[in-house]
Structures are given as C-alpha cells and as structure tokens.
Amino acid sequence: MDWREERTMISKTTRNGWLGRMAGAALGLAAIACTSSSQAAAPNPEPDSTPVKIGIIGTGHIGGALASLWVKSGHDVLLSSRHPDELKSLAQSLGSKARVGTPHDAAVFGDVVLLSVPYGATPQVGHDLAHELAGKIVLDTGNPYPARDGQMAEEARRKGTGVASAEFLPGVRLVRAFNAINSGSLASEAHRAGEPMAIPLAGDDKEALAVAQRLVKDAGFEPVVVGPLSRAKEFDVGTPVYVKLLTAPQLRKALGLK
C-alpha cells in the first residue's frame, strides 16, 4: 500500500470537520488496567475517570481524529504544529479541553504524547525533544514508507517498527498504537454499534500499555495487546491484519493470540 492510500478520502481541509461526525459517539471512560499483568485487558471495577493530559505531535489525519475522540471522552489535549496558528480553529471547535502549541509544548504538556508524524520525522523528534519526552508514555502511530521517508523506512520495515521506533525515541515509554487503522476508519468506526473494532498495541512497559488500552477504549475501539515492541512487526504495513477492520476476537485469531 502506498502511504497516500492510508488516508482514504479525508483531506487536510476536513481537519475541522471531525467533531461534528463524532457528535453521536458514545462517551465513557474505561479503566486504566494497572494490574500486575497489563497483557490482560481485565476490566477495572472502578473505572478511572481522571482526565489524561495528552500532547499531540503531528495533528494531521490521525492526530486530528484522535484529538477529537479524546476531547469528546473528557481528556485534555494540546494539539501541536510547527505552525500552531493553523490549528486554532480546530482547537476552538473542540472547546475548552483543547489548546494549541508547538511540538515542544505538546511534549511538555502531555503525560501521554501521541506521536503521529511522517515516519521520516521520528528521529528528529526523538532527538530534538529527548529531554521533554524522557520517561513519558508515547503512543507512536508512524508507518515507514520508503517513497516518503527514504532509506530509513526500509530499515525500519526490516527491523519492525517497534524495534526501530524505540531506537529513534530512547528513554520514552513507547507503545505502538493506531498505526494499523486508516484515518477514515478511525473517524467512522469509533464507538460503532455492536462489537468494537480492534486496535493492536505493542509495548515493553506494562503501565504504558495499560494507559494505551484505556485511551484506545476511550477513543471507541477495543485494545488488543499483541506483545512487546519486538512483536509490533506483526501489525506493520504489509501484514495480513494491516488496515483490516477486525473485531478483537478476529484480530486475536489472525495473530494466533489467546
């Protein structure tokens, strides 16, 4: 798949239109499953409704859609751009839980940072914001495409994105998330009626995985923890499950998970 196809039919000019389409989406905060085994998405009897501060680096198709979903579920979001003025109308449309800043501001603001930039920009972000991102939970949506991102993308595909991104983002609590669904589906399938669509996750840090599971649920999807970062390659670009809309049981079966 070409990287342009990820986006389906959503253009940059619709950045401000997500909120309306999300209006009917059910809200509901799910639990942070901070148990000894975050591999199990065990429901917490006392769901945590504390808002999470989320910094978004790369407020494009994916980052913009997730910003809308997370604001709707009660989280505090900082949308960032290298040209923050361009995001002001989107932030305004999202209300008081959304604000705008630079990527640096997003890294400082977020207890969780969504990194959703062209994969080729990942090393630069990791380098420039190393201090601000250190120790933070980072959800990485990036997919490497050699035609867009150059040679580094070929190597990232060989290694698998979990391993490659960890090298580009040293010191963060990394989770691969939201890379295997296209932005159109993110908008249209969130909080769908019936069984939710699954979002595969991979990470080495149990607490980071637990927080990622909560944020997947709050966005209106079902998290499926595939395993450590070394297993993120099982849902990288080109795998049988990549951008297939699957329920959690279907995804688990396809990946041979229990």
Ligand X SMILES: NC(=O)c1ccc[n+]([C@@H]2O[C@H](COP(=O)([O-])OP(=O)(O)OC[C@H]3O[C@@H](n4cnc5c(N)ncnc54)[C@H](OP(=O)(O)O)[C@@H]3O)[C@@H](O)[C@H]2O)c1
Q: Are 221 and 212 in contact (CB under 8 A)?
A: no
Of 7, 21, 97, 244, which lies in the binding site for ligand X, with binding defined by CB under 6 A?
A: 7
State which residue, 22 or 29, has the beta carbon closest to ligand X.
22
172 binds ligand X (CB under 6 A): no
Does 130 engage in binding with ligand X (CB under 6 A)?
Answer: no
Q: Is the Cβ–Cβ distance between 236 and 157 less than 8 Å?
A: yes
The contacts of residue 157 (CB under 8 Å, 6+ apart) are: 144, 146, 236, 237, 238
| Interface pick for ligand X out of 11, 24, 82, 193 (rule CB under 6 A) | 82
81 sits near ligand X (criterion: CB under 6 A): yes
**Residue closest to ligand X, measured at CB:** 60
Say how many residues touch ligand X, by CB under 6 A: 27
Q: Do 242 and 167 contact (CB within 8 A), yes or no?
A: no
* Burial of 211: CB neighbours in 10 Å, binned 0-12, 13-18, 19+: buried
Q: Does 165 bind ligand X (CB under 6 A)?
A: no
Interface pick for ligand X out of 18, 119, 168, 235 (rule CB under 6 A): 119
Regarding 238 and contact with ligand X (CB under 6 A), the answer is no
If binding is defined by CB under 6 A, does position 83 make contact with ligand X? yes
If one counts every other C-beta atom within 10 angstroms of the C-beta of residue 6, the result is 20
For residue 77, the cross-strand partners are 54, 98
Quote the least distance from Cβ 215 to ligand X, whole Å.
16
Region binding ligand X by CB under 6 A among candidate stretches 24-32, 39-47, 56-64, 194-202? 56-64
The residue among 203, 194, 213, 197 whose CA lies nearest residue 251 is 197
Q: How far is the CB of 141 from ligand X (least distance, A)?
A: 4
The answer to the question of residue 58 lying near ligand X (CB under 6 A) is yes
Residue 141 contacts ligand X per CB under 6 A: yes
CB of 160 to ligand X, least distance (A): 15
73 binds ligand X (CB under 6 A): no
> Helices then strands (H, E): number in the chain?
12, 8
Binding flag, residue 6, ligand X (CB under 6 A): yes
Helix, strand, coil percentages, rounded to 5, for the chain: 45, 15, 40
Asked if 68 interacts with ligand X (CB under 6 A), we say no
Beta strands in the chain (DSSP E): 53-57, 76-80, 98-101, 112-115, 137-140, 173-176, 198-203, 222-227
Which listed residue (39, 68, 73, 143) binds ligand X by CB under 6 A? 143
User: Residues interacting with ligand X, by CB under 6 A?
Assistant: 3, 6-7, 57-63, 81-83, 103, 116-119, 121, 124-125, 141-143, 179, 182-183
